[in-house]
Each structure stands twice: as C-alpha cells, then as structure tokens.
Amino acid sequence: MSKQFDVIVIGGGPGGYIAAIRAAQLGFSVACIDEWKNAKGGPALGGTCTNIGCIPSKALLQSSEHYEQAAHHFGDHGITLADLKIDVPTMVSRKDTIVKQNNDGIVYLFKKNKVTFFHGRGSFVAAKDGGYEIKVAGAAEEIISGKQIIVATGSNARPLPGTPFDEVNVLSNDGALRIGAVPKKLGVIGSGVIGLEMGSVWRRLGADVTILEGLPTFLGVVDQQIAKEVHKALTKQGLKIELGVKVGEIKTGKKGVSIAYVTAKGEALTLNVDKLIISIGRTANTIGLNTEAVGLSLDERGAIVVDGECKTNLPGVWAVGDVVRGPMLAHKAEEEGVAVAERIAGQHGHVNFNTIPWVIYTSPEIAWVGQTEEQLKAEGRAYKSGVFPFMANGRARALGDTTGMVKMLADAATDEILGVHIVGPMASELIAECVVAMEFRASSEDIARICHAHPSLSEATKEAALAVDKRTLNF
C-alpha cells in the first residue's frame, strides 16, 4: 500500500515549505515533495527564493554595495583604500554558501517539525478514496496518497519569444546570479524588479549597463512621485534606462549579443553587449504536474485558478504562491501557505492583500504598502498626502545617504492611512511600521503621536505623518 499522509505539499519554496511546517505544527502527517537539485544533484529546498531569487540576489546586492561604498563614498569618511579590487568568484562563492545555509536550514526545520521530505517531481495520478494519489519521480519512483494536496510549484522566468535563455550570453535571473567576471557591457530587457536589482549589482562592479524597457512609464506600479526620484537616482549612478522601446531581433555570437530595437522616438538602433539579462516577468509553473489527470483548472496564462482562500476547483486541492494569481513575492506565498494549512485544520487563516509590502532592493531602496496616489485618483477617493525628505533627517545625514523621502497618503475624511511609499536608506525595514499601522487601520495622526527614537530614519515616517496634517517639525 502507498504511504498515506494527511497533507501532501508539492513544491518546497517559501509557499510550500512554510505550508508544510504549519500543517505539521497543527498535528497533520505531512509530506513535502521538491525537485530542485543542487550542483551535486542533491536536494536544495527553498525554491526560487532560496536558490535563484530573493536570497542570492540580496547577497550580491550587499557585496556590490560594499564595493560601491568603498570605491565612491569611503573617501567622505576620511577612509582611503589603495588598489581596490573585486574578486567575482569569491563574491559568487559567498553567495553560494549563503544559499546552502538556507537550503540546510529548511532540511533542519523539516526534521524538527516531522515533515517527510521526498526529493523528486510530484505529479497527480488520480483521485482516490476522497483524496489523491501523487507520483514522486526521483532517484526511484513511488506513489504516495494524501487527503489534502497543496500545490506550490512556483514560477519560471519568461523568455522573449525566439530568444531562449542559454545562461551563457542570454541570461535569466539564474544566469544573472552566476556571471563569472564583470561584463564590460551588460544589456537588460525589462526595467522591473529583477532588471533594476541585477542591473545595479553589475553596474556597481563596473559594467556599463543599459536597460531597455517596453513601457513608456518607469516603474508604472510604483507611486510616480517615488518612481521619478528613483529614476533620477539610478540614472545619476550611471544606469542607462531607455523607456518605450520596441525590442526587435536578438543575435548571439562569439562577441556577445546584439539587440536591435526602436526607441520611443522611432529611431532604429542596435545595442551590442557582452551579456544580456532578460527580465520581463515570470510565468506560473505547472510543468510536469499532470493537472489533466485530475482536471485541475488553469487560467489562460497557465496559473492555477483559485478563489480568495486558495481553493482550486477540486475538493481538497489548494494552491499558493507564484503558481496562483497575485503578486509574485515570497512573503505573499508564505502567508498563503500558513493560511491554507490553518483552513485545512478548520481555522480561519487570512491574508490581507492590501497590506502586502513590496520592496525593491536598489540603492536607494524602494518600499511601499497600500495604494499609490495614482490609484487613489483613479478611484476618485479624497486623500491627503504628507511627504518628508531624508535630506531633513539627522540620521540620514550621519549615514551620508539623504536621497529620497517618505510619502504617506491618508483618507481626507477619516485620516486612515491608505498607502505609504518610501524611497531611501533602509526603506525595506522602515516599511514594516507602516504595514503594522495599516493592518491595525491606524490614522496618520496615530503615527504622528507615537514616540520614535532619535536619531533614526523612522523619524522620517513620523514626520511624513505630521506632514499629512501640514505640521512637520523638522522641515
């Protein structure tokens, strides 16, 4: 007889492994199947996030930021360095060590929580006895059965039609994290989150980076006052960002890659680069899941169709994370994983989509939660806006990083905070206070009345809240 589990999770990324742990904590017998292989063919739990996403990209962003600081800003502090060098293989190997620490950490967490791990590809076989049979194709093949199935199979990088990733010259985010030496010229298609983060890494290390973006607006999803500030800062650093272009033929050869494109003004140009990163979004991954065997519904983009509670069209089958609708973010996947495990246990798991924070880890960092000014205008909602620049924040001056601002938007009548948008130092950490405030439906006055440590960057958030009422104290 096949091994029986209460819950089988397919996929061991942040959506899947967190769902598995939470389900085990709630007393279920849980299996998690994940097919990711490390360089030696062994398991590498953690999915895109751990292996080729959040964690390795932040490791490289940190290394390259140190280099940038040493090269351009240490002098302001009276620190001089002779013969500054970057050893890319060491930087990449540090990143690989961090990835492995995270892989191993999840193995430890599975043991601690008694989650049974299967290394291999999971696929649906059939519905049986009120549950489902799942095939695990790994070193060997076996069938396991589960009453409840959570699908968390993530997403894959989207290639440009006709230009597959070779990961040597034409790189997805995977190859972009493994470049062995600083390219002289780097092209990036797509000025979204990956394009800006990876473009920044290699620009800081000395590459001449050109980003070609199809849309005429820079960071269209971001509050445009913030996006303008980001554009100014990144351009000043040397990133070349061309908006509104139409990318044509891409040719790869011994000398690198040539990209034909037409500018927003209609000029036909060719960009010649050593390496090209294509970061034009990601697509939900259901490859090899054999959804047809059980009739699991997919939408026209290939994502698994779920309702607001992550229920699919099949009883007892749930789906979370990048493989379903909503932002492709690790913390969104985790929240959905926890909520589904709790719903299986009869609890009321919940995910508030309005308070999911976004962070882009460029320098300056960009972080936001809630609605942008453009969204509020489109809705016709009456709002008040408060802005406080880091230029007027003592801690930012002491850090030597005064770029950017905190912008708070609040309802004109009730003063409830509707959105907070930050560009500047440590925006990724500053946004947490704003998420808490919005989750508790705080008003801007609530933040304005709370004591914030001095000198700290968080005082800029308090001052932005004061600015909503036009009574900043330090600006």
454 noted as active-site residue? yes
- Told to check if 122 binds ligand FAD by CB under 6 A, we report yes
> If DSSP codes are grouped into helix, strand and coil, which group holds residue 379?
helix
Please name which of 237, 244, 285 lies closest in space to residue 47, comparing C-alpha atoms. Answer: 285
What's the min distance (Å) between Cβ of 304 and ligand FAD? 11
Half-sphere exposure of 343 (CA within 13 A, CB side): 22
From the list ligand FAD, ligand NAI, none, partner contacted by residue 10 (C-beta under 5 to 8 A by kind): ligand FAD
Tell me: does residue 9 bind ligand FAD (CB under 6 A).
no
DSSP state of 70: I
Q: Does 35 bind ligand FAD (CB under 6 A)?
A: yes
Distance in Å, CB of 287 to ligand FAD, minimum: 7
Nearer to ligand FAD, 12 or 190 (CB): 12
As beta bridge partners, residue 137 has 121, 141
The rounded distance, in Å, linking the Cα atoms of 366 and 219 is 11
In whole angstroms, the minimum distance from the beta carbon of 468 to ligand FAD comes to 28
Q: Does 15 bind ligand FAD (CB under 6 A)?
A: yes
Amino acid at 1: M
Task: Name which of 213 and 373 has its Cβ closer to ligand NAI.
Answer: 213
Query: Any contact of residue 102 with ligand FAD (CB under 6 A)?
Result: no
Asked if 119 contacts 35 with a C-beta cutoff of 8 angstroms, the reply is yes
- Which residues have C-beta within 8 Å of that of residue 438, sequence separation ≥ 6? 354, 355, 369, 370, 417, 420
Where does residue 317 fall: left (phi above 0), alpha (psi -120 to 50 degrees), or beta otherwise? beta
**Closest CB 197 distance from ligand NAI, rounded Å:** 5
Find tokens 């780097």 and name the residue.
Answer: 186
In this chain, which residue has its C-beta nearest to ligand NAI? 192
| Pair of tokens at residue 440 | 């508790």
Percent helix, strand, coil in the chain, to 5, is: 35, 30, 35
Token look-up 């199935």 returns: 149
Per-residue interface string for the shown chain with ligand FAD, residues 262-301, x marking contact by CB under 6 A: -----------------------x--xx------------
Residues contributing to the site for ligand NAI (CB under 6 A): 160, 189-195, 197, 212-215, 247, 279-282, 327-329, 359-361
For ligand FAD, the binding residues in 165-224 under the rule CB under 6 A are 173, 194
Q: Is 362 in the site for ligand FAD (CB under 6 A)?
A: no
Smallest separation (angstroms) from ligand FAD to the CB of 176: 7
| Between 177 and 467, CB nearer to ligand NAI | 177
Find the binder of ligand FAD among 63, 145, 153, 461 (CB under 6 A).
153
In this structure, how many other beta carbons lie within 10 angstroms of the beta carbon of residue 73?
A: 12
Q: Which is nearer to ligand FAD, 200 or 402 (CB)?
A: 200
Report how far residue 117's alpha carbon sits from residue 33's, in angstroms, rounded to the nearest whole number. Answer: 6
Could you give the CA distance from residue 427 to residue 406 in angstroms, rounded to a whole number? Answer: 9
| Sign of the Cα pseudo-torsion (302, 307, 308, 310, in order) | negative
Binding region for ligand FAD (CB under 6 A) out of 65-73, 80-88, 149-157, 347-355? 149-157
Residue 47 contact among ligand NAI, ligand FAD, none, beta carbon within 5 to 8 Å by kind: ligand FAD
CA 457 to mean position of chain CA atoms: 23
Amino acid at 235: T
Catalytic residue among 72, 73, 350, 454: 454
Q: Kindly tell me the burial class for residue 53, based on how many C-beta atoms sit within 10 Å of its own C-beta (0-12, 13-18, 19 or more).
A: buried
State in angstroms the smallest separation of the CB of 220 from ligand NAI: 7
Chain contacts with ligand FAD (rule: CB under 6 A): 10-16, 33-36, 47-49, 53-54, 57, 121-123, 152-155, 173, 194, 285, 288-289, 321-323, 328-331, 333
Question: Active-site residues: which are they?
Answer: 454
